[in-house]
Structure 1
Amino acid sequence: VGNLACQRDSHLYTLDTQVILCEPLGSESNLWRVELADTVLFPEGGGQPCDTGSIEGIPVVRVERQGNRCLHYCKGGPLVPEQQVRVQVDVPRRTDLMQQHSAQHLLSALLKKRCSLETTSWKLGEETSYIQLDGPLSPEQMRLVEEEANSFILQDIQVTTHSFHPEKDQEAFEGIGRMNRPEDAQDQRVRVVEIHDLDRNPCCGTHVRRLGQLGSTSLLRTEPYRGGTCRVHFVAGTRVQHYLRTLEDRDQAITKALEVPGPDHLDRITQLKAQTKEGRKSRKLALEEAALV
């Protein structure tokens, strides 16, 4: 699947289309499998989770690809083949997924360009995401990449998508990253996402039109992994605000518990640890003295 309405225009949120197939999955689940002539709901792929939304007001809880088919799993039914239906996407979820995915492309390009680190995989998580790299990343490199990524976001650089045929359009594939085509993919065309003068990579996912739509991105931490590789965790878009809000709430809770302002948290914790250690030593000494009586 590479030419769905959601891939031709990631900012298309509503579509009128036709039902091709509708079948129950079982009486217990109350799920119906629906295939449409076209859809604005993206199926899981390219490291990106699927969209959710509705078909004629019926909630769609999962969308998946099977070969060149896009299957929707609806919480209710039935729908009738050839029926005209309206498909709507969960816009906040779509926006969030686009922001994280486009940020991953931007960050992976800069990690390669500035640090000579290749992205071997990535995961778009519920709260934070990570990029797996083929080597270690220092704190200095991490800050450099973050600053440059946000500079590109402020420049509001264009993000475009193209579809090519690998054999017919060989020149168009110069400089494009590796392709991992699913074994059951039947469409020979390859969809390429391009960040102007910075990155060109095959990708089936949904993306922002311009980097300015990310707002900002932040590299949070690195996590050592097998064989000297690492994972760098990041957030982008509205997740940056949510992450900061969570940190602030946590900071306020710790301030209340320790009864000292934020800048003094570490000193207060160090003091409490020393007091606890001293208390244990005193209790041990008291027990030893009591045993001699």
Structure 2
Amino acid sequence: EKYVNTRKRCIEILEKDLKRGVEVNTEYLLKLYDSHGINPELVKEIFEKRGIEVRIPSDFYKRVQELHEKRRRKKEGRKKIVDVSKFKETRPLYYEDLELGEFDAKVLGILRKRYVILDKTAFYPTGGGQVHDTGFIGGSRVIDVFKIGNVIVHEVEEPKFRVGKVIRCRVDLQRRKAIMKNHTATHIINRACVKVLGDHVWQHGSYKDEEMAHLDITHFKNLSREELSKIEKIANEVVRKGLNVKVYYLHRNEAEKKFGFRIYQGGVAPGKYIRIVEIEGFDAQACGGLHCRNTREIEVIKIISTERVQDGVIRLNFKTGKKAIEEIQFRDKILEELRELWKVKLEDIPKTAKRFFEEWKRLRKENDELKEKLLKSVVLSSIKESDICYLDVDFIESMGMVIKVVNELAKELIGKVIVFHCKEFGYAVSRKANVSALEELSKFYEKVEGDNLNAKGFKRKK
């Protein structure tokens, strides 16, 4: 149903553009995809039914990634807070040795009393959705690492060293390894999604830290349980197979010829030679991140949830390794507690939960009906005694119920004024000439926002 609704919204957008006589070019296709998540294949399908030819560039998705890359660079404007133009290129030790946890480096500069430039570093900077390393430089905590051009900047809490000193640095390797597992798993899940859902799937974004990760993909509907199960199964089969993860450099033309433009899942890599991360026989992407050497290092992948983040974009949240095992154990614990509480077999938990939910809905409906009847009774008995009534009805939690009762008793309330003091709000109605409901409500409530039709815009005076 959601897929149908999403497709319907997309078609409405396209038909409006048709009426406006929009020019169907590459720029237009990119705008539709980026702003509304409408893939060019759907545009071609809809427009060509109306006799309008649509040409999709063979490198369309490469251009999408270039667009995202430009946006990412713009967001990284914060890095201009320091001028590193006088510093030489930082030697990235993390590419030379993934497990280098301690190293000595020379302090080339300390900017604004907290931004440290070293001649070489094993601290990985934030990039491509992978968060930076943490640790210590000369006993001072590293809280952020980012790259400006080829210079790596370390944000450090209260540096306790001077420029020109050679100091000992320590990277939190345990944290890094957890992030590496999530990054390699991101590549695996992305490829698994393509295998299960189809070639229209493309990475829209990702994020990886030591706790968990998420992958955003282009897809027009929420994933079914069956699809999720297949994706997770394929991903964990890759983990169990223990496939080697190879990292090497290729000339851009050679890489594109060998693997196609799908290598640009994480954004377009700069330069003539690009860094390829290949999961042997399964996936290859241009990527500057840090990865496991073998998929078996990931241990296990657990997709914990999915959500639609915008039209045409689905997010998969997942955990790996120890965190995934903890997640599985946590879920097992909940299931066991439910089994013991309800005294049912594990396989009977879903139907038992459904039965309880249906019972809860029935009781809630009955409860609301009783409250509504009681409210009507209170109103009718009160207006017999006075034209202006102040009713304490703190058993009412829904403004909608008050409005419904007021509308149903419209005839009986002619010439009457009622102020309702409900559980969390006040509401007033006046059917009496020259008497303002707002003024009556203001005797007891002070305005926060809105008007007297937005009762939650008032709070009770002390």
Task: Settle same-fold status: TM greater than 0.5.
Answer: yes
Query: How far is the alpha carbon of 1:235 from its aligned partner?
Result: 1.9
Query: Aligned residue for 2:143?
Result: 61
- Asked if the contact 1:2–1:191 (Cα under 8 Å) also holds between the matched residues in 2, the reply is no
Query: How far is the alpha carbon of 1:222 from its aligned partner?
Result: 2.8
Note closer, same or farther for the CA distance 1:13–1:125 as it changes in structure 2 (3 Å cut): closer
Are 1:171 and 2:286 an aligned pair? no
> Which one has the largest radius of gyration?
2
Are 1:277 and 2:360 an aligned pair? no
- Indicate the larger mover: 105-114 or 142-151: 105-114
Superposed CA deviations along residues 52-96 of structure 1, whole A, max 9, x for unmatched, are 111122110110100000111111224233322222111232122
SS of equivalent residue, structure 1 residue 63: strand
Are 1:123 and 2:210 an aligned pair? no
State the alpha-carbon separation in 2 of the partners of residues 287 and 134 from structure 1: 50
State the alpha-carbon separation in 2 of the partners of residues 193 and 24 from structure 1: 37
Structure 1: runs of 5 or more not aligned: 26-31
Note closer, same or farther for the CA distance 1:112–1:272 as it changes in structure 2 (3 Å cut): closer
Note closer, same or farther for the CA distance 1:252–1:35 as it changes in structure 2 (3 Å cut): farther
- Asked if the contact 1:216–1:236 (Cα under 8 Å) also holds between the matched residues in 2, the reply is yes
State the alpha-carbon separation in 2 of the partners of residues 125 and 34 from structure 1: 23
State the alpha-carbon separation in 1 of the partners of residues 310 and 217 from structure 2: 11
Query: Aligned residue for 1:232?
Result: 316
Query: Aligned residue for 2:216?
Result: 132
- Asked if the contact 2:94–2:124 (Cα under 8 Å) also holds between the matched residues in 1, the reply is yes
Note closer, same or farther for the CA distance 1:75–1:254 as it changes in structure 2 (3 Å cut): farther
SS of equivalent residue, structure 2 residue 121: coil
State the alpha-carbon separation in 2 of the partners of residues 45 and 251 from structure 1: 38
State the alpha-carbon separation in 2 of the partners of residues 206 and 13 from structure 1: 14
Query: How far is the alpha carbon of 1:197 from its aligned partner?
Result: 1.4
Structure 2: runs of 5 or more not aligned: 1-88, 385-462
Structure 2 counterpart of 1:238, one-letter code: K
Query: Aligned residue for 1:87?
Result: 169
- Asked if the contact 1:62–1:74 (Cα under 8 Å) also holds between the matched residues in 2, the reply is yes
- Asked if the contact 1:260–1:268 (Cα under 8 Å) also holds between the matched residues in 2, the reply is no
SS of equivalent residue, structure 1 residue 11: coil
State the alpha-carbon separation in 2 of the partners of residues 272 and 97 from structure 1: 42
Query: Aligned residue for 1:29?
Result: none
Greater helix content? 2
Structure 2 counterpart of 1:161, one-letter code: V
Query: How far is the alpha carbon of 1:246 from its aligned partner?
Result: 4.4
State the alpha-carbon separation in 2 of the partners of residues 287 and 111 from structure 1: 53
State the alpha-carbon separation in 2 of the partners of residues 150 and 248 from structure 1: 19
Structure 1 counterpart of 2:317, one-letter code: H
State the alpha-carbon separation in 2 of the partners of residues 139 and 100 from structure 1: 22
Query: How far is the alpha carbon of 1:165 from its aligned partner?
Result: 4.6
State the alpha-carbon separation in 2 of the partners of residues 171 and 2 from structure 1: 28
Note closer, same or farther for the CA distance 1:127–1:78 as it changes in structure 2 (3 Å cut): closer
Are 1:180 and 2:267 an aligned pair? yes
Query: Aligned residue for 1:147?
Result: 233
Structure 2 counterpart of 1:16, one-letter code: D
Structure 2 counterpart of 1:159, one-letter code: V
SS of equivalent residue, structure 2 residue 120: coil
CA-atom RMSD in angstroms: 3.0
Query: How far is the alpha carbon of 1:22 from its aligned partner?
Result: 2.0
- Indicate the larger mover: 274-283 or 198-207: 274-283
Identity of aligned residues (%): 23
Query: Aligned residue for 1:37?
Result: 119
Note closer, same or farther for the CA distance 1:121–1:270 as it changes in structure 2 (3 Å cut): same
State the alpha-carbon separation in 1 of the partners of residues 188 and 334 from structure 2: 30
Query: Aligned residue for 1:222?
Result: 306
SS of equivalent residue, structure 1 residue 82: coil
SS of equivalent residue, structure 1 residue 65: strand
Aligned residue pairs total: 279
Query: Aligned residue for 1:28?
Result: none
Superposed CA deviations along residues 114-138 of structure 1, whole A, max 9, x for unmatched, are 4322212222367543222222344
State the alpha-carbon separation in 2 of the partners of residues 80 and 119 from structure 1: 44
Are 1:10 and 2:94 an aligned pair? no
Query: How far is the alpha carbon of 1:289 from its aligned partner?
Result: 4.8
